[in-house]
Amino acid sequence: MKNLKIFQTPLMTLLKQEEELLKSQEAKSLAQGGIKDLDQLFSIINLKWEVAYQALVEAEEDPKIKIKRRNLAQNRAIEALGLMEDFAQLNISLDQKKELGQDPALKQAFLWMDKVLELGGGDLLSGGYWDPRKTDKLTGTLKKAVLKFAGPDDGYYPLIWPRKLPKLLKKLVNFFLPLFAPDDPIAPPYGIPDEEEEIILSVEKIMLPRQQAIHYYEQEILPQYREELKQDPGNEELIKKIDYIEKKTEILKELILMPRAFPMVLEKGFYTQNFTSYTADGEPLIAVRLPVSFKSKSNTDRLAEQIKAEVVRQLAGKGYSKALDKEYKRLKSIESGPAGDSRKASYKLNAPFYFNFLKHQNPALRILDNKQELKQLIDLARTDKRGLSLAIEHLVENDLLQLGADTGNEGMKK
């Protein structure tokens, strides 16, 4: 019997490549403590734009599948744009940002975006059709998220002042409570209240999950030292450094992590890692000598990140977004493995990415990207909850009417 040849369109081939690349990305992320491979990320972004472009081409060629292909194009275009915005928001060291901005793969992504826009894909990124029945759900979710995190910042003075303690007691406090009770605690207000006061922070060491530390030593440090040793054979200092790094890497590899049930789901973030020396997923953190510099960000930035993540978590699995529900269901299933969580799958979501995805479908969410407007919402939450409700309702309804006018959807204009 002759082998049957299955015909594959260019779009089918691209979708298969996308599926394989996404699986590879997740496997690498799990194996290396959530590492972000930027080369792989740029490849995924380009592939999503290419899928969107090819879907638009097929939509024009065959009217029978036009709606289905345009829906696919919209989905991939929004995902690609969301990944690009997610990358732009990464806390990358300032000395690397400029270099990454010139990466050929990132430039190629912008070229693909231009091609999609040239084929009439501009309306795909404006949100397209909006279901008015989702208005109340969005309004309620946004209000709850703002209220949850809009409480006044901690204004209490530190309870412990180590420098005022007897010498012996001071040593004990410094040893057991270095983060809770530093030698010279800062008085309130805490954080960076205004954007104008942001500062550039520099550190000589950073904390990396164990697998990322191993990857860094093996892929970055050891090759560099070995290359230097080739140029200067017999350099005792380099030989000692190489021996030290190799032994340290072997010790890290030999660590055995025993997963265990835990009654509390930890959120990802600065305090989780610094108080426990573990990531929220239970991966030990290793101090690595890697000088970096970055912007401090402000209190408003911190609130915006928390509110955005809360919006994504509250909308997950509620029938609000098919893409978000699909990922939530996957993370809740046993097939997701260590990447998921059957009890708190919403905490495993890539909140920045899915927020960027949602805001292109729901323009009202873009208010969280505007610091001045976000401050106004926070002020209302602290002083006038009724005014907050009216402001959010007005915002959502106005965006709904504008979207209806842009798309020509009469039902939305009413």
Q: What is the pLDDT of residues 27-53, one digit of tens each?
A: 777 666 667 778 888 999 999 999 999
pTM over 0.85: no
Residue 71, class by beta-carbon neighbours within 10 Å (0-12 exposed, 13-18 middle, 19+ buried)? Answer: middle
- CA–CA gap between residue 390 and residue 288 (Å, rounded): 49
Report the SS3 class of residue 152: coil
DSSP E strands in 233-341: the ranges are 285-295
Give the pLDDT score at 409.
45
Token digits of residue 303: 């609130």
Q: 52: part of which helix (H) or strand (E)?
A: helix 38-61
Picking from 231-240, 286-295, 309-318, which range would have the lowest pLDDT averaged per residue? 286-295
Residue-wise pLDDT for 62-101, tens only, equals: 888 888 888 888 888 888 888 888 887 776 766 677 777 7
Report the SS3 class of residue 121: helix
- CA–CA gap between residue 300 and residue 241 (Å, rounded): 43
The residues pairing with 185 across neighbouring beta strands, listed in sequence order, are none
Token digits of residue 270: 């600065």
